[in-house]
Amino acid sequence: MNQSVEEIRQRLPADWEALRKVYDLLKKSDVFCVSDNDVKIVEFVQPAELKKLIDLTISDDKSLNEAEILSLCRKVIQYSVKTSHSRFHNQLFGQMDPYGLFGSWITEALNTSAYTFEVGPVFSLIETEVIKKMCDICGYANGDGIFAPGGSVSNMYALVLARYKVCPDIKAKGIFGMKPLVLFTSEESHYSFKKAAHWLGFGTDNCVTVKTNSQGQMMAKDLEAKILQAQEQDKTPFFVNSTAGTTVLGAFDDLNEIADVCQRYGLWLHVDGCHGGSVLISKENRHLMNGLERSNSLAWNPHKALGAPLQCSMFLTQETELMSKCNSTEVKYLFQQDKFYDVSYDTGNKSVQCGRKIDCFKFWLMLKARSVNGLGSLVDHAVKMAKLFVSKMLQREGYRLVQDSFLYTNVCFWYIPKAMRGQEETSEWEAKLYEVAPKIKEKMIRSGSLMIGYSPLSYRGVGNFIRMIFTCYPVIDEDELDAILDEIEYLAEQD
Ligand SMILES: *Cc1c(COP(=O)(O)O)cnc(C)c1O
């Protein structure tokens, strides 16, 4: 029935009390850290079917009681993907760090915004501390930064800042009547740069694609050629994105090589380390990002390999004052300059958002619980498992790698079913091979036993292959690698 104001008011204390039951529900529904292989990662149902299983309609006057709400939540959880299941390797993120979830729950409950010290005093100090520590780790002396809602937005922060540096007038005047500004990024890089080129008014034609070598690394020679080409077309090159850990292959561009080119042409060097940035805290793999200290900015997602709950993304820059100058507006009702405390802690001035979630806290809590080196050793372990996975595949029959070796946590490969082995590898055979990964994927989802993604690499003329991703969590061992391969083979050979 329709609830009156008085009824809602009276019901509220009990509504709040019901929160206790939410933890039990999540626990019972196998949401946390599942390593029991009898539990399905997902109970897949087609969209039309799913619509019938859960009443999605919103009523004008019918309100549900607590028991009905909890039962509805149970169903929602039941048909959701359990990304903390130990066999979920479908995305660049996987199982969470439990302390990350501690952090998320606490900030959700406190429900505040990261714009001013006034409304988030401790969090504003924590954000400043985390940013400072991460800048130190990057070799950004006197750097600055902000937590952004995801890597795509962090990359946009870089573009806006670089643009402001070459042409501060754009802030007031816009980009009218000027030569086109051109940005460069590799064919292996993330699609967020193309999207940003549209959103920020550069135009996708001015997001120039640079070729990669056989390891998926941006080729400095081709970058230079494309820069010269843009100059000949009377355009203004201003920005180079270099990727540390590409989304599909996990490739790391040679930052020193790219920095040399940027230096020669006076271009902003951004490093998209959304996926691979986590090697920065590792001992054995830190070298993959040598040269980072020569870059202007970095995007890094702790919500990927490190297991911080979504979303947790940092934009860091070597520039000291630029972010405030570029992004601030004189908002008198929020960022009053006559406050009684140090307003430099009002970080919202540097942000493009108004309300901003507290994403620093979960990462800070994880760092407190594990320490930088502790988390870093988990990164090294994940990389080690990826390499062991490769050697195990090569000892078995039917596996073929997309490239000879992988530097990071991505392993891309084909599984060749028994019926296709020992045949002449014609183009028909290849076409058939490219259908194998989607078929295995379908079986994975229908059985709920394993989730691993697949992808083609169209710029190499290569069709679908399996892309296995290792993350810090679950912390897996050698036996699990064999179990995963056994499951892939079992599913692939099943009719
Ligand atoms: C995931 C990813 C992004 C985008 O990050 P979101 O948080 O998903 O927006 C950008 N670049 C690379 C290399 C990525 O892997």
pLDDT digits (tens, 9 = 90+) for 109-130: 999 999 899 999 999 999 999 9
What is the DSSP code (8-state) at residue 345?
A: G
* CA 354 to centroid of ligand 1, rounded, Å: 22
What is the reported pLDDT for 332? 76
* CA 274 to centroid of ligand 1, rounded, Å: 5
Place of tokens 């083609």: 456
CA distance 461 to 313: 32
Cβ of 250 below 6 Å from ligand 1:
no
The two three-digit tokens of residue 312, written as one number: 């947790």
- Cβ neighbours for 97, distance < 8 A, ≥ 6 positions apart: 306, 307, 308, 366, 369, 370, 472, 473
* CA 252 to centroid of ligand 1, rounded, Å: 14
Atom of ligand 1 nearest to the CA of 245: 13
What is the reported pLDDT for 38? 85
Atom of ligand 1 nearest to the CA of 303: 7
Q: For residue 401, what are the β-bridge partners?
A: 413
Pocket test for ligand 1, best of 241, 248, 272 (most atoms within 8 A of CB): 272
CA distance 364 to 361: 5
* CA 82 to centroid of ligand 1, rounded, Å: 21
Please determine whether the domains at 103-371 and 374-493 fall in the same fold group of CATH: no
Q: What are phi and psi of 308, to 5 degrees?
A: -70, 140
- Residues of the chain below pLDDT 70: 1-2
CA distance 366 to 364: 5
CA distance 390 to 407: 11
What is the reported pLDDT for 153? 98
> Which CATH number applies to 103-371?
3.40.640.10
Cβ of 186 below 6 Å from ligand 1:
no
What is the reported pLDDT for 314? 98
What is the reported pLDDT for 37? 79
Cβ of 154 below 6 Å from ligand 1:
no
Cβ of 161 below 6 Å from ligand 1:
no
CA distance 252 to 277: 10
* CA 152 to centroid of ligand 1, rounded, Å: 6
What is the DSSP code (8-state) at residue 459?
A: G
* CA 190 to centroid of ligand 1, rounded, Å: 7
What is the reported pLDDT for 2? 66
What is the reported pLDDT for 1? 55
Q: Give residue limits of the domains in the chain.
A: 5-82, 103-371, 374-493
CA distance 314 to 356: 13
Class of domain 374-493: alpha beta
Cβ of 156 below 6 Å from ligand 1:
no
- Among candidate residues 387, 389, 412, 410, the one with its CA nearest the CA of residue 400: 412
Q: How many CB atoms lie within 10 A of CB 267?
A: 23
Atom of ligand 1 nearest to the CA of 304: 1
Q: Are strands 88-89 and 451-457 parallel, antiparallel or unpaired?
A: parallel
Atom of ligand 1 nearest to the CA of 273: 13
Cβ of 247 below 6 Å from ligand 1:
yes
CA 12 to chain centre: 37
CA distance 403 to 414: 11
* CA 151 to centroid of ligand 1, rounded, Å: 5
What ranges in 233-359 are assigned the alpha helix state H?
255-265, 322-327
